Amino acid sequence: MILSASRRTDLPDHYSDWFYERIKEGSLCVRNPFRPDQISKIDLSPEIVDCIVFWSKNPENMLPRLSELDAYKYYFQFTLTGYGRDIEPGIPHKRKHMLSVFRTLSDKIGPDRMIWRYDPILFNETYTLPYHQKAFQEIARGLEGYTHKVTISFVDLYTKTKSRMGPLKILSPSQEMILCLASHMSETAAAHQMEIVSCAEQIDLQEAGIKHGSCIDKRLLEKITGSRLNGRKDKNQRQGCGCLESIDIGAYNTCPNNCRYCYANVSDVYEQSIRKSYDIHSPMLCSPLTEHDRITEKHLRSLKIDQLSLF
């Protein structure tokens, strides 16, 4: 089983204490976002959890207790962009703080387990083509040697995010503009010893030197676990997504980062009301159990086939 922590919320930033408690307890519960009365109980035994994929814009809160994960394999998807507080209001200053957090975490777990994400890419009067070129170049220079891979994607305008993004006056880039930026990013990544891939992009960026990638990547997972994995493509993700199947343990409408492009929160007010239920001792994130809930223990298994040969 691959554990995703989490596409639905910045768990490392805001709920790391809850997660570490669940590791101690050996299990957790996840509410089905589409059938709220259905709850799955997830076994967190290291023999079943092949790898944990953490998604975060600021995993600093996890750093002091990483030793509690020694029994597990894991890696980080670390989003680091050039946006300011107008786009990512809950994230500390990138140059003054976040670059240092990335490098510190990389020193602890190694650059192979650090994936830099520069996404989503959006354009307006402030965040222009030259702006992104400069921002990407500065971050890449600051992360050289601390990661070997960067993932990019261009913003998708979901219905639930349009009202939040309205004041930003997002511009629709031409294919020429996208390819120009992609080519610059490809050259920059190569100059700083990084592989660059795209995430769930319909547009083909291979002429710019960028292949389609997978965030929950089977090749990387097999390298980290040292085993071949018998997993399938995740059918619950977008059509262009090539990720391996995983169990997401987060909850929608719980992330206080309040990024203006985020699809995981309906509104800031609703997120604040949901977060009132946060309890680090609860088996479920920001959601108390009720008499109407039906808890089912999921019969999960390791995806490992056998150990990979070193020769």
Is 116 inside any structural domain?
A: yes
Mean of all residue pLDDT scores within the chain: 92
User: What is the pLDDT averaged over residues 79-108?
Assistant: 97
Grade residue 125 by pLDDT with cuts at 50, 70 and 90.
very high
User: Going by C-beta distance under 8 Å and a sequence separation of 6 or more, which residues neighbour residue 258?
Assistant: 89, 90, 265, 268, 271
pLDDT at 295 exceeding the cut of 50: yes
Q: Which of 22-26, 105-109, 205-209, 270-274 has the lowest mean pLDDT?
A: 270-274
Q: What is the average per-residue pLDDT within 285-292?
A: 91
Does residue 311 sit within a domain? no
Question: Side by side, which strands form the sheet with 149-154?
Answer: 211-213, 195-199, 149-154, 114-121, 74-79, 51-56, 2-5, 247-248
Which amino acid is present at 232?
A: R
Residue 189 belongs to some domain of the structure: yes
CA distance 220 to 296: 31
- How far lies 249's CA from each of 42, 104, 118, 159, in Å? 9, 26, 23, 24
Half-sphere exposure of 50 (CA within 13 A, CB side): 29
Please give the C-alpha separations between residue 101 and each of 91, 107, 225, in angstroms, as whole numbers. 12, 10, 25
pLDDT for 266 equals 73
Residue 243: band (very low, low, confident or very high) from pLDDT cuts 50, 70, 90? confident
Question: Could you tell me if residue 129 is inside a domain?
Answer: yes
Whether 54 maps to a domain, the answer reads yes
Asked whether residue 63 is assigned to any structural domain, the reply reads yes
Task: Domain of residue 194: give its range.
Answer: 2-306
> Partners of 123 in the beta sheet?
171
Q: What would the mean pLDDT of 147-166 be, rounded to a whole number?
A: 80
pTM of the model: 0.93
- pLDDT value of residue 311: 38
Q: How confident is the model at residue 214 (pLDDT cuts 50, 70, 90)?
A: confident
How many structural domains compose the chain?
Answer: 1
Angle at 160 between CA 154 and CA 163, to 5 degrees: 90
Nearest Cα to 59, choosing from 112, 139, 114? 114
Find the angle CA(230)-CA(235)-CA(239) to the nearest 5 degrees: 120
Region of residue 218 (phi > 0: left; psi between -120 and 50: alpha; otherwise: beta): alpha
Give percent of the chain with pLDDT exceeding 90: 77
3 state SS of 230: coil
Q: Please, what is the Cα angle at 202 between 199 and 204, to 5 degrees? A: 90
pLDDT digits (tens, 9 = 90+) for 48-69: 999 999 999 999 999 999 999 9
- Whether residue 153 lies inside any domain: the answer is yes
- N-terminal to C-terminal alpha carbon distance within the chain: 26
**Position 160 confidence tier, pLDDT thresholds 50, 70, 90:** low
Mean pLDDT check: name the lowest of 231-235, 281-285, 294-298.
231-235
The sign one gets for the Cα dihedral 156, 82, 57, 270 is negative
Burial of 33 (0-12, 13-18, 19+ CB in 10 A): middle
Local confidence band at 264 (pLDDT 50, 70, 90 cut-offs): confident
